[in-house]
Amino acid sequence: MRIENIEIKDFKGIDALEFKPKKLNFIVGRNNTGKSSILQAINMVFNPIRASFYSMPTKLINFHSKYSETIIQTSEKKRYSIKIEKADENETMYQFKKDLVDSIGANFHKLDKKFDETLRVEIENKISESINKELVSFLTKESIAITINDKNKKIYYQLFRRDSRRVLIDFIKSILEYLKSKIHPNKSEISHIERRLLLDASSIAFGIEERNMKHEMKENNVLLIEDALMNYFIIVGDQEIDRINKVEKFLKEYNIIDGLERLSLEEVLFVNGEKIPFEFLGDGSKAIIGLLWSISSKEISDRVILLDEPENHMHPGYIKELLKILIRFSKEFNIQFFIATHNIDFINMIFDKDLTQEEKDYLQKEVFVMRMEKIKDYTSPVKFNYEDSKNNIEKMSSDLRGI
């Protein structure tokens, strides 16, 4: 898959933005100019469940607007979109009651208990009668409505604060007391239902159930990597030895770890016979290993990879090799990269004289650079191709260094 056009409206601090990306896209600018927001907007189109993980999801909508929308056109002539808006009270409470009744019904079935329509209606009525203003206030404060591909609108709400969780749990316990009076379960049965409902309270409180969204995007070819260093820690518990061997191959080929002989989950062996525990590697090595791990999966071909400041923790030597790796993966595996950075060294590497002619030719054809600026509350992007970027490198350098 390749993204050919991106249109972002009123997402976080971005009021309006449209651009046609290439294979290697660098989004540069000072902090708080919207670089990471672009990656997040793209990611949410293909991973909409991420929108409901935000502690304050209504902040995904620009304060000037009632909703945000991102629209993406791909090379396969497909259109994907996500619209995020503030949900109203009626929508939110309807969804909450449905989630709670569904959770009760699912736990009844696990106990082979009858949960007929009559009982369902009685529970729905009891929930409606019992909901208090405090619970309504907590539920509706950060509720959002997400519409994917112009259809299937869904409501999500959150109860992050401890006091709001307490209100929810007390409410669920009151409904359980009502259930006892209706079905007369034995002690072990009501204990099971109570335990399961309180566990389910976490998903109810967040208003997120991933199964509700899995069918919306059947082809998820987008991967967001916000912290390559964190990906390193995922490796430790993984048993994909072939994947570790791939990472080792790239580390040797680009001489990222001097004198590397063998990389394993337990230790790093050097050609001089020295060994160190895997976890003793420096943060720069860990970050690039984590990144290589992410982009070395079997399903990596024809994907879109979103990298948020991948150069963090890396010294300039690693950044140069990182650029070479991105060029190679983009070319060999047809990967489209979007890289957000405020590191001018990363941009300078695009024009490094030590790059091979093949690498330079690929960059000339496939590089797109967008410098993000903010004028008051409004986004003001400046778009460059390879030659434009080369001619404006001093301006970008001054901008990123705050001069």
Instruction: Give per-residue pLDDT as tens, 337-376.
Output: 999 998 888 888 899 888 999 999 999 999 999 998 887 7
Task: Tell me the per-residue pLDDT of 170-193, one tens digit each, with 9 for 90 and over.
Answer: 888 888 888 777 766 666 666 666
Q: What is the CA radius of gyration of the chain?
A: 25
In a domain, residue 136? The reply is yes
In a domain, residue 341? The reply is no
200 or 170, which is more confident?
Answer: 170
Spatial separation of the C-alpha atoms in residues 114 and 108, rounded to whole Å: 7
What secondary structure letter does DSSP report for 168?
H
Residues 256-278, mean pLDDT to the nearest whole number: 88
In a domain, residue 101? The reply is yes
- Match 């993000």 to its residue by tokens: 372
Cβ(36)–Cβ(340) under 8 Å? yes
Task: Tell me the per-residue pLDDT of 87-122, one tens digit each, with 9 for 90 and over.
Answer: 999 999 998 888 888 888 877 766 566 778 888 888
Q: Kindly indicate the confidence band of residue 275, based on its pLDDT and cuts at 50, 70 and 90.
A: very high
Give burial (CB, 10 Å; 0-12/13-18/19+) of 353: exposed
Q: 241 phi and psi, to 5 degrees?
A: -65, -40
Tell me which of 212-216, 265-269, 378-382 is least confident.
Answer: 212-216
What's the pLDDT at 180?
A: 76
Give burial (CB, 10 Å; 0-12/13-18/19+) of 86: middle
276 or 318, which is more confident?
Answer: 276
What secondary structure letter does DSSP report for 149?
T
In a domain, residue 194? The reply is yes
What's the pLDDT at 230?
A: 62
Partners of residue 154 on adjacent β-strands: 146
Q: 394 phi and psi, to 5 degrees?
A: -65, -40
Helix H or strand E encompassing 148 = strand 144-148
What's the pLDDT at 334?
A: 92
In a domain, residue 198? The reply is yes
In a domain, residue 44? The reply is no
Residues 218-225, mean pLDDT to the nearest whole number: 73
- Cα–Cα nearest to 216, from 340, 15, 46: 46
The token pair at 33 is: 């100019």
Average pLDDT over all residues of the chain = 82
In a domain, residue 184? The reply is yes
The token pair at 340 is: 């957000």
Residues 260-269, mean pLDDT to the nearest whole number: 86
Q: 3-class SS at 154?
A: strand
In terms of residue numbers, what domain contains 118?
89-145+158-214
The token pair at 292 is: 């290589």
Task: Report the sign of the C-alpha dihedral through residues 184, 187, 189, 195, in that order.
Answer: positive
- Cα–Cα nearest to 92, from 42, 148, 156: 156
In a domain, residue 353? The reply is no
Domains identified in the chain, total number: 1
- Match 């309504």 to its residue by tokens: 136
